[in-house]
Amino acid sequence: MPALADGVGQVGSADSTESTVDVIDVAVIGAGPAGLMAAEVLSAAGWRVDVYDAMPSVGRKFLMAGKGGMNLTHSEPAEPFVSRYGKRADAVGRWLHRFSANDVRSWAHRLGIDTFVGTSGRVFPVDMKAAPLLRAWLSRLRAAGVRLHVRHRWLGWEENESAGPDNLRFATPGGERRVRAKALVLTLGGASWPQLGSDASWVPSLREHGVNVAPLIPANAGFETDWTPLMRERFAGHPVKSVTMTLPDGTTRQGEFVISEHGIEGSLVYAMCAPIRDTIRQHGSAQIFLDLLPDWTPERVMAEVSRPRGSRSMASHLQSRLGIAGVKAALLRECLPRETFNDPAALAAGIKRLPLTLLRTRPIAEVISSAGGVALEALDERLMIRTLPGVFCAGEMLDWEAPTGGYLLTACFASACVAADGAAAYLAYLASLDTRQ
């Protein structure tokens, strides 16, 4: 049985030329965090697990996300934590009963990875890196007997054959390979960062077999606006700190974001992404409002703006009296009419409620995550597709979304545990039928 020389992606593999059809207990398709967690839970339950992935190595998006600091989960209390999942909070909350944010930290600690809580409440490994955690995880899976098959792209099901675990087709370097499993867990990801494996190629196969799949759309995305050349060339990449962002419905959050060549991005933008995106989809654009001095009262801003400035320029006046300079001053010039700077009341109002019109969401291929996917209504409480017995789904391919901050990874883990529990129960049921016969 040859090994695969794929660095951290190496767990072990059967030779794809040994047979045309493999008969196994349970197949997990997708070797990202959800797939590996499902494999861990199933192997701990005593089942032989085979994991298949189209890429040459596993966990590529996991490793990429960890380059800026591996954000595992968040430390906030359960109630606000669950609320981050918006319209799907009830469903995701049930998953989190199975595997919570605290369970994520305990799981990492059992792998020998110490964690800490940052000033924002986010939880990170002490070394901030993803690779050591992934290596330790793969080592544990290897010891548990999990087999990984890389460069195995799932082709769906034969057109004239039933869809289910016992009819799986894979394209491999050695040709097409057929697999017959007793249970199947799909963890195929969404549509963001397709170069790392999440290319949504699974959508047609599920839809062709009657599974309701909501359109995949950008989540945790940046937004575009038509900057002037000066704004785009001089301030792209500059952070805008200590501001609040308010939507027309009154929803307000404080934080920071970054000016991009195309518009805005960053943590505050991602936290407000869903309502901004949905407004653009409905109306063609969305107007947000920025408070550039959230710790100042309107009265204080008005008093400072109204002070005589003598021979000083307005730029010098705003910097000396209000500390507004650089990118914040540029935003004022970009978003307010020129005549506003001769009207203290209008200028003070603009500083506290600066209008910015957003026109487009950045393309789904470059955003952090996607929304849409397999409708939760198409699944039972164990995340099995109601119309395809023995086929379970987990992770980002399901129709839910969350902001950055550890919420995405935690829900991927939690849904994988629920789906793996369901698959284990299904396998036990099949085994009981065999015993009766």
Whether 5 is in a domain gets the answer: no
Cα gap 316→305, rounded to integer Å: 11
Evaluate if residue 298 carries a pLDDT over 70: yes
- Shared domain check, 342 and 270: yes
Cβ atoms of 268 and 257 closer than 8 Å: yes
Domain boundary among 332, 361, 390: 361
Instruction: Give residue 311's pLDDT.
Output: 85
Whether 11 is in a domain gets the answer: no
Cβ atoms of 287 and 280 closer than 8 Å: no
- Shared domain check, 230 and 250: yes
Evaluate if residue 16 carries a pLDDT over 80: no
Instruction: Give residue 160's pLDDT.
Output: 67
- Shared domain check, 98 and 70: yes
Where residue 417 sits, what CATH number does that domain have? Answer: 3.50.50.60
Using alpha carbons, list the distances in angstroms from residue 227 to 224, 230, 270, 313.
9, 8, 20, 24
363 secondary structure, DSSP code: P
Cα gap 306→343, rounded to integer Å: 9
Beta strands 239-246; 286-291: pairing state: antiparallel
Average pLDDT, integer, range 132-147:
97
Q: Structural domain tally of the chain? A: 2
Cβ atoms of 218 and 367 closer than 8 Å: yes
Cβ atoms of 351 and 376 closer than 8 Å: no
Evaluate if residue 64 carries a pLDDT over 70: yes
With a CB cutoff of 8 Å and minimum separation 6, the contacts of 217 are: 277, 281, 361, 364, 370, 371, 372
Sign of CA dihedral 21, 50, 409, 77: positive
Total-model pTM: 0.90
Which pLDDT band, with edges at 50, 70 and 90, does 158 fall under? Answer: confident
- Shared domain check, 205 and 340: no
Whether 77 is in a domain gets the answer: yes
- Shared domain check, 408 and 324: no
Three-state DSSP state, 426: helix
- Shared domain check, 282 and 162: no
- Shared domain check, 158 and 42: yes
Decide: residue 259, CB within 10 A, 0-12 exposed, 13-18 middle, 19+ buried: buried
DSSP 178-241: EEEEEEEEE----SSSGGGT---TTHHHHHHTT--EEEEEEES--EE----HHHHHHHTT-EEE
Instruction: Give residue 309's pLDDT.
Output: 85
Residue recorded with tokens 């309107």: 298
Instruction: Give residue 420's pLDDT.
Output: 98
Domain boundary among 321, 339, 361: 361
Which pLDDT band, with edges at 50, 70 and 90, does 99 fall under? Answer: very high
Cα gap 232→328, rounded to integer Å: 14
Which pLDDT band, with edges at 50, 70 and 90, does 27 fall under? Answer: very high
Whether 56 is in a domain gets the answer: yes
pLDDT tens per residue, range 344-399: 999 999 999 999 999 999 999 999 999 999 999 999 999 999 999 999 999 999 99
Whether 13 is in a domain gets the answer: no
Which pLDDT band, with edges at 50, 70 and 90, does 161 fall under? Answer: confident
Whether 1 is in a domain gets the answer: no
Three-state DSSP state, 292: coil
Whether 282 is in a domain gets the answer: yes
- Shared domain check, 103 and 190: yes
Evaluate if residue 8 carries a pLDDT over 80: no
Q: Which amino acid is at 393?
A: C
Average pLDDT, integer, range 178-182:
95
Percent of the chain with pLDDT over 90: 87
The torsion angle over the Cα atoms of residues 60, 61, 63 and 65, rounded to 10 degrees, is 170
- Shared domain check, 158 and 227: no
pLDDT tens per residue, range 252-288: 999 999 999 999 999 999 999 999 999 999 999 999 9
CA angle, 328 then 228 then 313, to 5°: 45
Cα gap 35→43, rounded to integer Å: 12
- Shared domain check, 277 and 135: no
Residue 308 domain boundaries: 223-361
With a CB cutoff of 8 Å and minimum separation 6, the contacts of 267 are: 255, 256, 257, 403, 404, 405
Q: Which amino acid is at 305?
A: V
Whether 30 is in a domain gets the answer: yes
Domain boundary among 309, 332, 361: 361
- Shared domain check, 207 and 61: yes
220: number of Cβ within 10 Å: 24
- Shared domain check, 400 and 303: no
How big is the chain, counted in residues?
437
Percent of the chain with pLDDT over 70: 95
405 membership: H or E segment, kind and range: none
